[in-house]
Amino acid sequence: MSELNLKLDAWTFKACDEQEWLPAQVPGCVHTDLLKNDRIPNPFYGTNERLVQWIDKKDWEYTAAFDVPQELFAQSRLELVFDGLDTYADVSINGTRVISADNMFRTWKADVKDLLKCEGNVAHIRFRSPIQQDLPKLEQLGYALPASNDQSDVGELGDKKVSIFARKAPYHYGWDWGPRFVTSGIWREVRLEGWSDTRITDIYIRQDNITAANANFTAIVEIESETAWEGTLRLAADGYAWEREVKLSAGANKVELQADLANPKLWWSRGLGDAHLYSFEASLAEGETVRASKSIRTGLRSIRVVREKDAHGTSFYFEVNGVPVFAKGANHIPNDSFLTEITYARYRHEIATAAESNMNMLRVWGGGIYEDRMFYELCDEYGMLVWQDFMFACSMYPGDEAFLENVRLEAEENVKRLRNHPSVALWCGNNEIDIAWGNYDENIGWGWKQLYTPEQREKMWADYEAIFHRILPEAVNKMIAGTDYWPSSPMQALTGDASQHATNSSTSGDIHYWGVWHAVEPLENYNVHIGRFMSEYGFQSFPEYKTVREYAEESDLALESEVMLAHQKNGRGNSLIKEYMDMYLPEPKDFPSFLYMSQLLQADAMRSAIEAHRRRKDFCMGTLYWQMNDCWPVASWAGVDYYGRWKAMQYHAKRSFKDVSLSIDGTSGTHVNFHVITDLLAPISGTIDVQVLTFSGEVLKTVAIAAEAAANSAQQVASLTVEELLEGREPGSVLLQAVLKQGGEELDRKEHYFVPAKDIKLAAPTIRITEVAGSGGTQFTLTTDVLAKQVWIASEAEGIFSDNFFDLVPGVPVTVGFQARQDGAAAFAPASPGTIEVRSMADFINSLVNA
């Protein structure tokens, strides 16, 4: 056995029409290489996005000189392997072209044994401009295809939207939260792979029947061999071993080994059990000689999407190891506009944040990329389920033979690459295209189809069906038979008639509800429009002042300034935030206060939505808000900003996603309803202690409520009238606090107000913070003399508090701990926060009762 490789990472680059070669970082891209060579300004700062649009109109070339070590050169096979080329690239070795790439999402390989020498080799890549490459395709087609988020105007192309022709990350062309940076480059590892004799190229652990009593699975091992031979295939995992005799032919071989494992340690999603992972090693032996081996890691579990008729319509939920799972989480976008800037630590920060926030699912949205293996490995480790989109979003796509074949190869490769990850629960064809086109109902859609002739419409829908109803499901079935495929999100079902398309009142399939935000519906409508699975909904805010100052000067701090508008990609975004703020919150006293108040607004919106969805558990079985993260510093729907700083919303989501949760609903205005929600597999039997308090902490009324809820359920346990709770008191001067207890242990605590925040009569509190003795400066207790709403603890060190943006009630101290962000063995670890500053809503508004 012999398998060696050499990374090629010493590259230089230049524009094809220039002379000077500059050092390049590989993996990387043209934009980041230009930035690191001081040839362009920081693209994220101010309005600099506009200054770098020339880059994507040019062709660029990269070159690397390299020697091949003798041991590697002696191998009988030598392959040049690119894990990712972005996107149109011609690769030459020593003057001979060996690859012509046209898909960012595929691996590109070439046999280069006959072209190499031991010393003085030269690799050369010419990256053709994705804009110049695809503009002729638009002209040849004769009409534009819909691509709502392609910011061609920013790219100085007018209305010529060409993103749909390239198999390239759609968000590179702009989105309503992201900038337009159409990159080119070697975006994943490039290496020279050498091997002789025999090698194992792939191991797939096909999970045939997994139960707590027994795991029946098949190891499917792909092998390349230079000669025919006979021997033994062995499979080992955690002290267990299986084997069979094999006969290999020269060339490609696929061998199956069936295996059973009694009482396996199952992989569970977060909150239900341990996310156990087995390391499997396959080896090929001839006698005592091991000729090849390879290892992979996976978890044993059963998972399916349950879609069954019921009294309401058709269910839509994930079942893990036979247990119905209420999906709690968010939509994930790429963590950076420049993908090679994403480190393992940044991936881990995101996944650890999801786990800290009591989530169990992330949706890899279809306008980004099939993520790096690090992302899925972390999801595997943290028990984070993954809803995986194919990379198609909010556009119609061409259907020529070359494009469809490119899509087929991309789909098969990526499903195969990700199929051993136990976290991947579903493959989804695209984001929002079925509902945007609305083929079977003239009154549904985004107005796209009405722009085309009947002949054009028929062709475009046929092309759509070729990709999403044939090629992609065939790829899933071929590579990972039995895994669920969902053609488009949102959708009711694949029916071929008007009932296919999702609406806000759908009782089947999944829903993207955007009435709140885009349609300026009141937040209370989150309680009205609830579907079987809420796969998108969201509300914007600004990042905190510290982040805003990373891209703006003090002079730019105005809602309609050029820089604020440049870092707000949703056309009406800033004005919508203000419009909603006027509806629900007191007026902020200045722009930094507006930033803080925007976060409270977003947090309350998402709290309202999450808890409304969870209260309808069984009918609704999933809530994934838009969105988890940002790809640059910007005002957006994210709960965590570009620098990894938690917004108020993330803390509120953490509380609302608790595995055992108390939820208070006063939407009706006449009643206050108390709900107990549990995702655990044991019943709840306890009490809810209710107090009505003045803002100075005086207890006006107490009520004890028996709280019973079955395992893995949501239950309304009481409904009290506002009249009996207030007993004639001024509703803007009192609050309700409820504590859910079981066996003397506090499980959850919530506050409820009888009027919107803008009508609450706040006084200026005096908040005291003291270090907890023996905590080493990592824990602090906060107290107040009068109600302090939305207490924000800001730290000098980067990290998170165990709680933040909470209401502090007199007589009810709150203790919080700080965990700093880590680059070492853990994502977060207890540490000193450094200098801290504590403020509350009263510090950001003028309308105080004692002002």
Confidence of residue 333 (pLDDT cuts 50, 70, 90): very high
For residues 139-161, average pLDDT: 96
Angle at 824 between CA 821 and CA 830, to 5 degrees: 45
Give 665's contacts (C-beta < 8 A, 6+ positions apart): 527, 611, 612, 615, 672, 673, 675
Homologous superfamily assigned to 323-540+613-654: Glycosidases (3.20.20.80)
pLDDT at site 801: 98
Q: pLDDT tens digits for 463-473?
A: 999 999 999 99
Residue range 197-298 forms a domain whose CATH class is mainly beta
Residue type, 529: H
Which of 157, 133, 132, 160 lies closest to 147, judged by CA?
160
Q: pLDDT tens digits for 107-116?
A: 999 999 999 9
Separation between Cα atoms, residue 516 and residue 525, nearest integer Å = 7
pLDDT at site 67: 97
Q: pLDDT tens digits for 478-506?
A: 999 999 999 999 999 999 999 999 999 89
- Multiple choice CATH, 762-851, 2.60.40.10, 3.40.640.10, 1.10.390.10, 3.30.70.20: 2.60.40.10
Which single residue is written with the structure tokens 């006449």? 670
The CA radius of gyration of the chain, in Å to the nearest whole number, is 28
For residue 501, give the DSSP letter: S
Which helix (H) or strand (E) segment is 225 a member of? strand 214-225
Determine what percent of the chain is predicted with pLDDT higher than 70. 100
Check the CA dihedral 84-89-90-94 and report its sign: negative
203 token code pair: 């191991």
Which of 73, 140, 147 lies closest to 112, judged by CA?
73
Which single residue is written with the structure tokens 């999402």? 105
Separation between Cα atoms, residue 529 and residue 518, nearest integer Å = 14
Confidence of residue 452 (pLDDT cuts 50, 70, 90): very high
- Multiple choice CATH, 2-192, 2.60.120.260, 3.30.450.20, 3.40.50.150, 3.40.50.10860: 2.60.120.260
Burial class from Cβ neighbours inside 10 Å (0-12, 13-18, 19+) for residue 798 reads middle
Q: pLDDT tens digits for 639-681?
A: 999 999 999 999 999 999 999 999 999 988 899 999 999 999 9
Q: How many CA atoms lie within 13 A of 66 on its CB side?
A: 22
Burial class from Cβ neighbours inside 10 Å (0-12, 13-18, 19+) for residue 438 reads buried
479 token code pair: 């590579």
Separation between Cα atoms, residue 601 and residue 597, nearest integer Å = 6
Helix ranges restricted to H, 53-196: 70-73, 130-141
Separation between Cα atoms, residue 489 and residue 535, nearest integer Å = 8
SS3 504: coil
- Identify the weakest region by mean pLDDT among 46-55, 282-291, 452-461, 803-812: 282-291
Residue 49 has pLDDT above 80, yes or no: yes
Angle at 133 between CA 127 and CA 135, to 5 degrees: 150
What is the phi/psi pair of residue 397, to 5°?
-125, 155
Q: pLDDT tens digits for 562-609?
A: 999 999 999 999 999 999 999 999 999 999 999 999 999 999 999 999
Burial class from Cβ neighbours inside 10 Å (0-12, 13-18, 19+) for residue 600 reads buried
pLDDT at site 395: 98
pLDDT at site 2: 62
Q: Are 434 and 448 in contact (CB under 8 A)?
A: no
Give bridge partners of residue 685 from the DSSP assignment: 708
Q: Are 679 and 714 in contact (CB under 8 A)?
A: no
Distances (CA, A) of 98 to 61, 211, 409: 15, 48, 19
CATH number of 658-761: 2.60.40.10
Give 682's contacts (C-beta < 8 A, 6+ positions apart): 711
Determine what percent of the chain is predicted with pLDDT higher than 90. 97
Residue 851 has pLDDT above 90, yes or no: no
pLDDT at site 849: 82
Separation between Cα atoms, residue 347 and residue 363, nearest integer Å = 14
495 token code pair: 């029916």
Which single residue is written with the structure tokens 């000067």? 553
Separation between Cα atoms, residue 422 and residue 426, nearest integer Å = 11
Q: pLDDT tens digits for 738-777?
A: 999 999 899 999 999 999 999 999 999 999 999 999 999 9
Separation between Cα atoms, residue 759 and residue 123, nearest integer Å = 68
Which letter, b or e, does each residue of 291-324 get, where b requires 16 or more Cβ atoms within 10 Å of its Cβ?
bbbbebbbbbbbbebebeeeeebbbbbbebbebe
pLDDT at site 709: 96
pLDDT at site 63: 98
Which of 636, 619, 754 lies closest to 692, judged by CA?
754
pLDDT at site 646: 98
Which letter, b or e, does each residue of 715-738 get, where b requires 16 or more Cβ atoms within 10 Å of its Cβ?
bebbebeeeebbeeeeebbbbbbb
Q: How many CB atoms lie within 10 A of CB 401?
A: 7
Angle at 178 between CA 172 and CA 181, to 5 degrees: 35
Q: Where are the domains of the chain?
A: 2-192, 197-298, 323-540+613-654, 658-761, 762-851
Separation between Cα atoms, residue 474 and residue 480, nearest integer Å = 10
Q: Are 778 and 831 in contact (CB under 8 A)?
A: yes
Angle at 48 between CA 46 and CA 52, to 5 degrees: 165
Average pLDDT, the chain: 96
Extended strands (E) in 287-337: 289-298, 303-306, 317-320, 323-325, 327-332
Which of 599, 546, 569 lies closest to 47, judged by CA?
569
Residue 850 has pLDDT above 80, yes or no: no
SS3 692: strand
Separation between Cα atoms, residue 292 and residue 609, nearest integer Å = 53
Residue 211 has pLDDT above 90, yes or no: yes
Distances (CA, A) of 390 to 101, 257, 366, 475, 489: 20, 30, 5, 11, 11
Same CATH topology for 197-298 and 658-761? yes
pLDDT at site 3: 77
Which of 705, 614, 720 lies closest to 657, judged by CA?
614
Give 427's contacts (C-beta < 8 A, 6+ positions apart): 388, 389, 390, 415, 472, 476, 483, 484, 485, 486
Give 696's contacts (C-beta < 8 A, 6+ positions apart): 785, 786, 787, 810
Separation between Cα atoms, residue 699 and residue 693, nearest integer Å = 5
For residue 321, give the DSSP letter: T
